[in-house]
Amino acid sequence: MNRSLYYYHNGTEEVVDNEEKRGRPIPGYSKKNSGEIISDEQIEEFLMEAVEGDGATYGVKNLTQLLKDEHDLQINHKKVARLCRKLGILLPQRTGNPKYPKRLVRNRHITGPNQLWQLDIKYGSISESRRFFFVACAIDVFDRAIVGYYRGPKCTAKDITGMLNEAIIRRSLQVLEETNEHCIVIRTDNGPQFVSNLFGEFCEVNNIFHERIPPRSPNYNAYIESFFSILERDIFRRFEFSYFDEAYYEIDDFIEFYNHRRYHGSLGRMSPTKFREKYKDIGFPKEMSLKL
């Protein structure tokens, strides 16, 4: 074989072998014009809110402009297209009826625990890095207890359903005794984890009524939003986390304190646990009932 021909083919094979290694890795975030880093997971939630509201008929370029206008993001249409394909929200893919149709929020009269849980996701960052961690929490709106939570470097529908399954098991006796019709009502926003088929199937199997709030209306999820504001103030602003385990330790410690020792003015200066233990045998006061 000619020497030059041998080395030509040898070089070609090497290029083919390394073809999948080409290109810049996906960073997993975008920046606001202020320089603040926003994770792709948060951008996905922005997109889901958009297609459930004003952007229901928008294509990729209009969604890109919406992200720039409403969220001050530095982002191009190619990335928006990639995230839309991942979420399955491009217009040609949204034909037909969804497997688990959307149920809108309705007014509810809450008279005891385990009737309505609010669920949401918050994210934090590791200092001096571009890494994120996520905190998903479910709060009982009646006794203000965090009935379940998850924290990790990613947050998928599988992670959230696992957390909810553990929460239902821990409070299963109360769920069966204190609620009618459905096992429980869970209220969420329109995040991609909550509109997924996996989450819909979990709710159907466990006899859970899942309702979703309208876009840009966090007041319908006021209790979990209030908890996250407390978490932001008491933990995220007080500490800088150098690694994931440090953040998880502080979050675990705070939620244990919040459930068992932190005073709540709306609960008569009792913790959620103490409030629940005081009234579970004699019945909860009528003035504690809530209209949501």
- Model pLDDT, residue 228: 96
Per the structure block, which two tokens stand in for 25? 């890795």
Residue 242, domain extent:
109-291
Q: Is the pLDDT of residue 11 over 60?
A: no
Quick one: residue 35, left, alpha or beta (phi over 0 = left, psi -120 to 50 = alpha)?
left
> Looking at residues 41-66, what average pLDDT do you find?
84
Residues 6+ apart with CB under 8 A from 74: 30, 31, 32, 33, 68
Residue 144 is which amino acid? Answer: R
Per the structure block, which two tokens stand in for 192? 């991609």
Q: Domain count of the chain?
A: 2
| Residue of higher predicted confidence among 292 and 265 | 265
Contact 210, 138 (CB under 8 A): no
Q: Of 125, 101, 127, whose CA–CA distance to 41 is shortest?
A: 125
Contact 284, 270 (CB under 8 A): no
Q: Is the pLDDT of residue 187 over 90?
A: yes
| Residue of higher predicted confidence among 36 and 23 | 36
- Model pLDDT, residue 97: 58
Residue 43 sits in the same domain as residue 129: no
| Residue of higher predicted confidence among 292 and 189 | 189
Residue 199 sits in the same domain as residue 68: no
> Could you give the percent of the chain with pLDDT greater than 70?
82
Residue 158 sits in the same domain as residue 200: yes
Q: Domain ends where: 66, 93, 120? A: 93
Q: Considering all CA atoms of the chain, what is the largest pairwise distance in Å, rounded to the nearest integer? A: 95
